[in-house]
Amino acid sequence: MRLTLTALRIYRYMVLKGGWVGVREVQRALGLSSPGLAAYHLSKLVEEGLVERSDEGKYRVKDYIDTAFLREFVKLGRLVVPRYAFYATFTTVLTTCYISLYPKHAFSEAGILGIALGVFSTISFIYEALRALSER
């Protein structure tokens, strides 16, 4: 599955809005340059099987979608967040707490190795979260 960032933004908007949406509504809501651009991305979502089109020209998200790509995200109310963002937050908090609560041990030879592993893990998770957001 290869979708552009604009198509993913449209899909996210449709999931959060719920129900049927029109081309012009999507164009206005996301600030797209033309209705044709919105229609193009909506047709790509239809081709991928994520969205269905009514006879009246309205679109809605399908009730059941079997895609691995959506497993990389978590929906929190109206917010859709990459799963790796939670891991990055956890390792950041863990590393920061270790340094602040145990400064004497944190800056010892073994402690610096722990800090390095925490920083490396955090950077890796941030990279994966950003990659999931910009996946094309």
Domain layout of the chain by residue ranges: 5-61, 72-134
> Which H or E run contains 112?
helix 109-134
- Residue 115's pLDDT is what? 94
What CATH class has 5-61?
mainly alpha
Match 């390792």 to its residue by tokens.
91
- Residue 63's pLDDT is what? 74
- Residue 18's pLDDT is what? 85
Structure token pair of residue 104:
């004497």
Residues in Cβ contact with 55 at an 8 Å cutoff, skipping those fewer than 6 apart: none
Which residue, among 2, 27, 3, has the nearest Cα to 13 in the 3D structure?
A: 27
- Residue 136's pLDDT is what? 39
Structure token pair of residue 123:
């950077």
Tell me the β-bridge partners of 75.
80
Match 């129900």 to its residue by tokens.
19
- Residue 97's pLDDT is what? 95
- Residue 69's pLDDT is what? 58
Helix (H, G, I), strand (E, B), or coil: what is residue 101?
helix
Q: Which parts of the chain have pLDDT scores under 50?
A: 136
Helix (H, G, I), strand (E, B), or coil: what is residue 48?
coil
